[in-house]
Amino acid sequence: MLKVVDETKKAFLTGNETVAWAALAAGADIMFGYPITPQNEVMHYWTRLAPRYGRDFLQTEDEISAGFTVCGAVQAGKKAFTATAGPGNVLMQEPFGMAEAMRLPLFAIIQQRGGPSSGTVVYSQQEVALTTYGGNGEGYRIVYSTATHQEIYDYTIKGFNVAWKYRFPTFLLGDGYQAKMREPLEMYDPEEKGIKLEPTYPLVGLPGKIGEGREPQHLCNIYSLEEELYEVVMKLSADYERIAPDLVEWQEHSCEDADIIILTHGIVSRAADDAVKALRAQGIKAGYFRPITLRPYPSQQLREAIAKSGAKILLIAESSYGQFERLTKQEIYGETIKIEHLYMPGVGIVDYDIINKVKSVL
């Protein structure tokens, strides 16, 4: 097969394009998709590149189908993915739920746009609740919230691996700004970096006879009895809780002696990082904490950061109206630190927004 990345080097890309290249480098076989801004260039670039590398693409009639075709393809042992945003993410909750129920290695890129409804095509962080806990299940999903193009590249590769290793639906949660902005990143061949690509395998049509050569595959998303479902959900819970400590990822700095910890995720973390450095230069003891995984959430690590700093205030800044704060509160229930917030739904947050807010609450 033609090599996707010949040599490790810096390149200048948009976020959507980064997804397409990373998916190729990760050995994705097929993308299913339906157009929606701001993820369109994931499809544009995938469809331009896929034929060169013998990969496939299918544009489905809507997002529901795009999600279900991914569910189907992964059962056939294909490394499949989709990308969507906003209302598309809403429609895909049904197939995402199926992936949760059937433990399918589904991987989806979400480039958040403004909501509710069609909202804007531009940017927001309003798909946090939907991506972490959407659907009629218990939210057994793995969600990476990226902040840079390098992370988009790294976590696209990782996302496929994690999906196939743990078999919970896995998401890369970006946003319209990350999708469209352009910056340098290092493109590499994952295997040359020592990243093992998880093998894919069919879940159906297996050789052998059930009961003789092999066990049956229980790929099921509907049950007749309450007790059957109970057993399944309890097993899902136990499995998820067992792997959660291995999955959590976070970033933290300057928390040791912080009076105020700034909590952000995704692209807003870039503003928080700048803000903490500027505040420190002004003698204000600010700390930085950022969950990279929103599901599972690095609760223990955040609790520890609060405890060791003795900080009096946790400032949560988000481009939504409290979705990230609600998620955080349920994860650190019992902490007595005062919580302040900066809500800017659908609007970008820059360092001085955070700096001004910090100064107003200290």
Partner 1 sequence: MLRTQFNSARVVEAYVGEYASGKSEMAINRALELKSQGRQVTLVDLDTVEPFYTLRPLKELLEQKGLTVIGFSRPEAFGLGETGAMLTPAARWALRREGDIIFDVGYGVYGARTLNLVEEADTSTELRVIAVLNYSRPMTGSKARIIEYIKELGRVDALVANTHLGDETTLEVIEEGTRIIIECAGELGIPVDYIAIDKKFAGEWNLELFAIPVKWITRYMPAAMW
List residues near partner 1 by CB under 8 A. 10-14, 17, 21, 37-38, 41, 44-45, 48, 118, 121-122, 176-177, 180, 182-184, 187, 348
**C-beta closer to partner 1: residue 179 or 258:** 179
In angstroms, rounded to a whole number, what is the distance separating the alpha carbons of residues 264 and 258? Answer: 16
**C-beta closer to partner 1: residue 72 or 345:** 345
**C-beta closer to partner 1: residue 12 or 230:** 12
**C-beta closer to partner 1: residue 86 or 159:** 86
Q: Which two tokens stand for residue 30?
A: 């097929």
Shortest reach from residue 348's CB to partner 1, in Å: 7
Shortest reach from residue 13's CB to partner 1, in Å: 7
Q: Which two tokens stand for residue 27?
A: 């050995």
Shortest reach from residue 32's CB to partner 1, in Å: 23
Shortest reach from residue 342's CB to partner 1, in Å: 19
In angstroms, rounded to a whole number, what is the distance separating the alpha carbons of residues 191 and 174? Answer: 25
**C-beta closer to partner 1: residue 111 or 131:** 111
Q: Which two tokens stand for residue 348?
A: 């970008």
* DSSP conformational letter for 196: P
Shortest reach from residue 195's CB to partner 1, in Å: 19
Shortest reach from residue 30's CB to partner 1, in Å: 21
In angstroms, rounded to a whole number, what is the distance separating the alpha carbons of residues 252 and 165? Answer: 27
The number of helix segments (H) and strand segments (E) in the chain equals 13, 14
**C-beta closer to partner 1: residue 43 or 163:** 43
Shortest reach from residue 324's CB to partner 1, in Å: 21
List C-alpha distances in Å: 110 to 15, 32, 159.
12, 14, 12
Q: 63 near 34, Cβ under 8 Å?
A: yes
**C-beta closer to partner 1: residue 90 or 121:** 121
CB burial of residue 232 (10 Å; 0-12, 13-18, 19+): middle
Shortest reach from residue 43's CB to partner 1, in Å: 13
Backbone angles phi, psi at 11, to 5 degrees: -140, 165
Q: In sequence order, which ranges of 92-203 are alpha helices (DSSP H)?
A: 93-102, 128-133, 149-166, 176-180
**C-beta closer to partner 1: residue 38 or 88:** 38
Shortest reach from residue 160's CB to partner 1, in Å: 19
Long-range residue pairs from 73-77, CB within 8 A, at least 24 positions apart, any chain: 73/29, 73/30, 73/32, 74/99, 74/104, 74/105, 74/106, 74/200, 74/203, 75/104, 75/202, 75/203, 75/204, 75/219, 76/202, 76/203, 76/204, 76/205, 77/200, 77/201, 77/202, 77/203
**C-beta closer to partner 1: residue 72 or 348:** 348
List C-alpha distances in Å: 123 to 9, 179, 235.
29, 9, 37
